[in-house]
Structure 1
Amino acid sequence: MAKEVKIRFIELAAGLAVYFGWLAGAHYDYWNLAVTEEMKLALVLLAYAVLAADACWQILKKLRHRQLFEENFLMLLATGGALYAGRYAEAVAAMLIFHIGKLIETMTLDHTKRSIAKFMDIRPSFANRKRGLGEETVSPEELRTGQIIVIRPGEKIPVDAVVMRGSSNIDEKALTGEFQPRSVSMGSRIYSGSINMDSLIEARVTRVYEESTAAKILNMVESAMKNKGESQSSAEWFTRLYSPVVTVLGLLVMFLPPMLLPGQDSETWFYRGLIFLVAACPCGLLVSVPIAFLGGIGAASRQGVLIKGGSYLEALSQTETFIFDKTGTLTEGIFGLKEICPRGITAAQLLEITAYAEAYSSHPIALSLRDAYEKGIDTSRIGYIQERPGLGIEAVIDGMRVYTGNHRFMEALGIQIQKVKGSGTAVHAAVGRRYVGYVLISDRVRGDVSDTIRWLRQQHMEVMMLTGDNEHVANEVAHALGIEYVYANLLPQDKVTQLEEIMNDQMETEKLAFVGDGINDAPVLARADIGIAMGGLGSDAALEAADIILMEDEPSRIINAIRISRGTVRTVRENLYFAVFIKVILLALAFAGGITMREAIIADMAVLVINLLNSFWVLKYPEW
């Protein structure tokens, strides 16, 4: 139980004890107790003081930020007025019910946060570090890169590491939402927060705990809880405006009718004004909004979708345009050698040249060329390498200057290339200024991309593609997936420029989301209204640049994220409309003298409970 909940319980228990003592004193004839009027008054004031202490403290804290008019102020003003009018029972009962409502509110927030923490139960508590021939149990924070750790079946992986000995299945459900365990063996990367399922493994630490996947995700989820959505901010702005207005109206109800209308009882209207203030308390309006957003963030986390805050969750529900990167996003990014087309040299020589030129690149195409070459790379043969972003590579191999890259790189060098036949990505090569042919690489479309694009189009959203690949390959993929708008041959900076042009053509209320692989799309992810990175597990660029992270390389998870965002925003609106509707009725009844102070606050607490129950279902996705 959270500390704040315990404090509220203690305050409530103390208030109840004194309140019941006052009730006993008020009926001393029945209880046969010798209680004076002064003692009864002291008891009722003590009960009120205990129950009102937290409200006073909250007002003092708000005064630091120059915020006086809010729910605690309204309650103190109304119940203090009731004490002044001699309505002790109603004043204490109203503050008691208000305190119960605040306790329910605090417990609900605590429960929601604990539910999210349970879904994200990835914080490791210890690590087994090898020391000489033995082991020692240490805190994950004490581990350093290069050290060897032992992970037994059932234990959480404490930090990001690489398996050095053994093989096992790893449960990454808490990180990715994927229920299927991942098989790992020597050389496999493993991530903190995952659980070793089957066999003992030894691994070498690659990241200290503060930089590990689990720590970054936990920090991000914690920040997300503090990040407010537009509706939440609007609700708070509304209450800041609403509270002083209803305070003035309540005072007018107290004093204006007796002054303007002859024969009106001032005491009656004073009491009605107090009830008006109680009925105007906006607690049912405020608390249900953050609960709904927290529930949406928690539900998305269970699906392996990390959303950095309520503002991004809300913006996703307003998104009209989705722009996808191609390589590694729409396609798997796992290239295979399709064809070697040499000119003036052998196919083996052309493959060797391209493999050596791409020796230090981490791009998927470079990896595929090295895999196809199959022989080891002798780095002593490489004298110089310089990468030209978005174009290719310039290298010195065996004393010869070599150029490899796309057709734009060759054109910029003034080298005439041959026409590419067949579909795929062509890596052209030249030795000196002599063109020596090209290697054709192909990629595969992801299995669930087609269904994702189809669903987005059914929701009447525009779907586009931005890619650095050539037009032929880009159009081929786009045609297969039903994507109408394609922008190809884009350098990294060109992607940002093109994205800004598209955003400028949109209406102000429309939102645009860019979906990339989180490795080389960081500038575009940061510039879009919503940046969605795929395969964020272990990717620093994704965790830092994106607003929403799909922890697995599955675009279909975007569908779940959109459904959750829409459900969350719908719940927030329902809560707001319902709370305002009931408020209007209560204020009208208070003005007409149709309810008592106690009934007004019970009605407000009922609104609070109904809104909280309505917000809870968001956390239960995908059950709904």
Structure 2
Amino acid sequence: MTEPNKNKSEVPKPMEITSPRTAEHPGPEKPKTGILYEVPANKAECCSTDAKPNKDEDGHDHEDESSSYIPTVISLVLLLTGIALDYTDVTWFEGYIRLAVFGIAYLLVGWKVLWHAITNIKNGSIFNEFFLMGIATLGAFYIGEYAEGVAVMLFYVIGEHFQEAAVARSRKSIKDLIDNRPEIVGVLRNGQISEVNPKQVNIGETIQVKAGEKVALDGELLSESSSFNTAALTGESKPDTKRKGDKVLAGMINLDKVIELKVVSAYEDSALSKILQLVEEAGTRKAKTQQFITRFAQIYTPIVVFLALGMALLPYFIVEDYVFNDWLYRALIFLVISCPCALVISIPLGYFGGIGAASRNGILFKGSNYLDLITTVNTVVMDKTGTLTEGVFKVQEIKTNGIEQAEFIALTAALESKSTHPIAQAIVQYSGESHKQKTVSDIEEISGHGLKGKVDGKEVLAGNGKLMNKFSIAYDRQIDAIIDTIVLVAVDGKFAGYITIADQIKADAVQSIKTLHHLGIKDIVMLSGDKDSIVQKIAKEIGIDLAFGGLLPEDKVNKVEELKKQGKTVAFIGDGINDAPVITLADVGMAMGGLGSDAAIETADVVIQTDQPSKIATAINIGKKTKQIVWQNIGLAFGVKALVLIFGAFGVATMWEAVFADVGVAFLAILNAIRIQRMKF
């Protein structure tokens, strides 16, 4: 292609392209471009040309946006002015004046790229995005195609601005959603409320939260009761009523009245801080697609450089009317088209968007690899209590044997008060204050059986039939036929009676199972330590394919191992504490209601904050949509680039088509990648 004034008089001597030198260096340091977005190590520079980033109070790198756009705007004005003058009859726009206009436009947007290219060459890292952009655009200046050389660099930088804006917007939306804690909190000191930074509040101190204020620290409610908006943590707008003694988490909004909380966690140890840390670290676990692109770029980049070199020089031995500048121009087009920026930018950004979309739906993925893996799940295994049922038990019936009911309840509740199990809490709540006068000692929790301990000097057992059999306690076996959950109690070696307790199925449990089947999940299995009659009853009501009851934690592990041996990809959903071994074993471990559970945060691959089983299907949907968008971007990039490469090799495509094949495709891929954040699931 020839520009209108390319052959004007006094054209300055063309630039010389020198051969780069190499040196040993471990490679460039990866810049931080967002809380989730991580650039492949060997291509880190291609996605950011910021030379001197500033850091905000959270440690994130950024530039002053307005000042960073000024050089780009000036470059665009100079480029358009230069092109307009090229198409006029003015005689003064030639030679060094023309070079100066386009040269300034080029340096305004390209100096950082060139600087990084030179620095990387000195450090031994030659074949990267900067090197490709540098030699392609300098080559364009060498052959007099000034406008096209500027355009390649300018539109590349414009694409970078869009990419940075997309990442910044996504990061801000997630941060605003999750962490918007107040900077000042009222703490009770010396009988007065003092306003201090939440980071300066100690565990055990009392803080005051006014109506409408957001809770800054995890605490135990000292006031009688209050309602809280938990949407920032769970994605659910339905108010949650907390009562005296309940745990209130940072990020919740107090809706009712002025309340007081006793701080139970330091600022950096709160459940919200752990969730933020989880989100921060999510980008470090790459999906296989990202790992493939990283390895691909290491091989791909040097290959295209040598192919371009061959395209410029080999025709000398084949073509009769060989003109070096013509074939160099084709080689430069080839280089610009070959830049893998669309892949390197859009693929991590696609996973970034998926993790962000999941966060807004109350689902936390610990890495983009789990977004990929969850799409391959064909078997979903669930715990019962707290996953498919509310886990809010209520006492239904009490039967005693040779002991007064009041004493029976007091002894049992005193023992159960040392357990955090929902069944134990139901008994304690039912007993009222009667158990608080009892002295409890020698507590022993027997996994899968129940509790053993001494209450006022009496040996008390509370648990299931296995516990009674273990200690040779005789009882009426007809009791085992009762479908509801039963707590059998023995006092001093004699059967003292039983308590029946019932749980409620979660409102969205039935629809959740239907949706999972609709998504192609072939097998849905329920595993529970509860007795088999209850498990089978609930499984039938909900529509579970297969259910097993009366299981110890190790039995659950064995069941999941059996499924995996059959070649199935298993996702297990549990409460993240008792089910930690199974969560770890499963291909995808999911913790239900993990906000207040350290075990859930640490063990699970995916944390569902809302306690809703319907979010399991939502997580799978988000994973599938993310994977679809990532592969759309891969297909778009390879398809357009291959087409323009063919045209360029035959001299049909110009540098303008090359710009579209590189920067244009990258821009389209970025728009496609951020599309997932606007979707409703």
Scaled by the length of structure 2, what TM-score is found? 0.83
Determine whether 1:490 maps to 2:571.
no
| Aligned positions of 1:251-290 closer than 5 A | 251-290=309-348
- Name the residue aligned to 1:109: 167
Distance in 2 between residues matched to 1:375 and 1:165, nearest whole Å: 19
Determine whether 1:442 maps to 2:502.
yes
Mean alpha-carbon deviation: is it higher for 489-498 or for 340-349? 340-349
Distance in 2 between residues matched to 1:184 and 1:340, nearest whole Å: 28
Question: Aligned-pair distance for 1:324?
Answer: 0.4
1:234 to 282, 286, 292: 292
Determine whether 1:303 maps to 2:361.
yes
- Name the residue aligned to 1:463: 524
SS at match of 2:344: helix
Distance in 2 between residues matched to 1:467 and 1:278, nearest whole Å: 59
Distance in 1 between residues matched to 2:626 and 2:425, nearest whole Å: 42
Determine whether 1:576 maps to 2:634.
yes
Equivalent pair of 2:79/2:147 in contact (CA under 8 Å): no
Question: Aligned-pair distance for 1:289?
Answer: 1.7
Mean alpha-carbon deviation: is it higher for 610-619 or for 492-501? 492-501
Question: Cα distance 1:194–1:336, how it changes in 2: closer, same or farther (>3 A)?
Answer: closer
Question: Cα distance 1:57–1:167, how it changes in 2: closer, same or farther (>3 A)?
Answer: farther
Equivalent pair of 1:292/1:571 in contact (CA under 8 Å): yes
Question: Aligned-pair distance for 1:582?
Answer: 0.3
Equivalent pair of 2:590/2:606 in contact (CA under 8 Å): yes
Equivalent pair of 1:5/1:107 in contact (CA under 8 Å): no
- The one-letter amino acid paired with 2:302 is P
Mean alpha-carbon deviation: is it higher for 135-144 or for 89-98? 89-98
Equivalent pair of 1:564/1:621 in contact (CA under 8 Å): no
Determine whether 1:430 maps to 2:496.
no
2:425 to 367, 370, 376: 367
Question: Cα distance 1:8–1:317, how it changes in 2: closer, same or farther (>3 A)?
Answer: farther
- The one-letter amino acid paired with 1:204 is K
| Aligned positions of 1:369-408 closer than 5 A | 369-378=427-436, 381-408=439-466
Determine whether 1:556 maps to 2:614.
yes
Determine whether 1:514 maps to 2:514.
no
- The one-letter amino acid paired with 1:113 is R
Question: Cα distance 1:537–1:60, how it changes in 2: closer, same or farther (>3 A)?
Answer: farther
- The one-letter amino acid paired with 1:406 is N
CA deviations 1:182-208 (Å, max 9, x no partner) are 344544432211223343222222222
Structure 1 residue runs without a partner (length 5+): none
| Aligned positions of 1:13-412 closer than 5 A | 13=73, 15=75, 30=90, 37=95, 41=99, 45=103, 47-59=105-117, 68-165=126-223, 168-184=226-242, 186-378=244-436, 381-412=439-470
- The one-letter amino acid paired with 2:627 is V
Mean alpha-carbon deviation: is it higher for 324-333 or for 74-83? 74-83
- The one-letter amino acid paired with 2:178 is M
| Aligned positions of 1:584-603 closer than 5 A | 584-603=642-661
2:537 to 459, 462, 476: 476
- Name the residue aligned to 2:562: 501
SS at match of 1:465: strand
Distance in 2 between residues matched to 1:450 and 1:422, nearest whole Å: 24
CA deviations 1:106-163 (Å, max 9, x no partner) are 2222222223223334333211122334322211101112222222233221111233
Equivalent pair of 1:418/1:437 in contact (CA under 8 Å): no
Equivalent pair of 2:212/2:254 in contact (CA under 8 Å): yes
SS at match of 2:221: strand
Question: Cα distance 1:195–1:64, how it changes in 2: closer, same or farther (>3 A)?
Answer: farther
CA deviations 1:478-511 (Å, max 9, x no partner) are 122222222332222332233223223225xxx3
Distance in 1 between residues matched to 2:118 and 2:539, nearest whole Å: 60
Question: Cα distance 1:458–1:38, how it changes in 2: closer, same or farther (>3 A)?
Answer: closer
- The one-letter amino acid paired with 1:448 is D
Equivalent pair of 2:601/2:607 in contact (CA under 8 Å): yes
Question: Aligned-pair distance for 1:6?
Answer: 5.5
- Name the residue aligned to 1:536: 594
Distance in 2 between residues matched to 1:12 and 1:376, nearest whole Å: 75
Equivalent pair of 1:123/1:214 in contact (CA under 8 Å): no
Question: Aligned-pair distance for 1:531?
Answer: 1.8
Distance in 1 between residues matched to 2:332 and 2:215, nearest whole Å: 59
CA deviations 1:401-436 (Å, max 9, x no partner) are 333322223333344443123202222233444334
- The one-letter amino acid paired with 2:253 is I
Equivalent pair of 2:560/2:570 in contact (CA under 8 Å): no
Question: Cα distance 1:400–1:194, how it changes in 2: closer, same or farther (>3 A)?
Answer: closer
SS at match of 1:554: coil
Distance in 2 between residues matched to 1:62 and 1:312, nearest whole Å: 33
Question: Aligned-pair distance for 1:589?
Answer: 0.8
- The one-letter amino acid paired with 2:359 is S
SS at match of 1:153: coil
Question: Aligned-pair distance for 1:372?
Answer: 3.0
- The one-letter amino acid paired with 2:222 is M
Question: Aligned-pair distance for 1:598?
Answer: 2.9
Distance in 2 between residues matched to 1:615 and 1:580, nearest whole Å: 16
Question: Aligned-pair distance for 1:25?
Answer: 10
Equivalent pair of 1:122/1:175 in contact (CA under 8 Å): no
Question: Cα distance 1:377–1:59, how it changes in 2: closer, same or farther (>3 A)?
Answer: farther
- The one-letter amino acid paired with 1:393 is L
Give me the identity figure in percent.
Answer: 35
- The one-letter amino acid paired with 1:423 is I
Distance in 2 between residues matched to 1:584 and 1:222, nearest whole Å: 36
1:453 to 501, 507, 513: 513
Question: Cα distance 1:110–1:399, how it changes in 2: closer, same or farther (>3 A)?
Answer: closer
- The one-letter amino acid paired with 1:9 is Y
SS at match of 1:203: strand
CA deviations 1:295-318 (Å, max 9, x no partner) are 222222222222222222222222
Scaled by the length of structure 1, what TM-score is found? 0.90
CA deviations 1:447-471 (Å, max 9, x no partner) are 2111101211222311111211222
- The one-letter amino acid paired with 2:501 is I
Question: Aligned-pair distance for 1:20?
Answer: 7.8
Distance in 2 between residues matched to 1:238 and 1:417, nearest whole Å: 68
The alignment of Structure 1 onto Structure 2 pairs a total of residues equal to 618
- Name the residue aligned to 1:615: 673
Question: Aligned-pair distance for 1:101?
Answer: 2.2
Question: Aligned-pair distance for 1:104?
Answer: 2.3
- The one-letter amino acid paired with 1:265 is V
Distance in 2 between residues matched to 1:26 and 1:421, nearest whole Å: 94
Distance in 2 between residues matched to 1:454 and 1:92, nearest whole Å: 57
Question: Aligned-pair distance for 1:8?
Answer: 4.4
Question: Aligned-pair distance for 1:47?
Answer: 4.7
Mean alpha-carbon deviation: is it higher for 248-257 or for 585-594? 248-257
Mean alpha-carbon deviation: is it higher for 483-492 or for 181-190? 181-190
Mean alpha-carbon deviation: is it higher for 344-353 or for 419-428? 344-353
- The one-letter amino acid paired with 2:442 is Y
Distance in 1 between residues matched to 2:340 and 2:548, nearest whole Å: 50
Question: Aligned-pair distance for 1:347?
Answer: 4.6
Equivalent pair of 1:167/1:199 in contact (CA under 8 Å): no
SS at match of 1:202: strand
Question: Aligned-pair distance for 1:322?
Answer: 0.9
Distance in 2 between residues matched to 1:314 and 1:52, nearest whole Å: 36
Equivalent pair of 1:112/1:291 in contact (CA under 8 Å): no
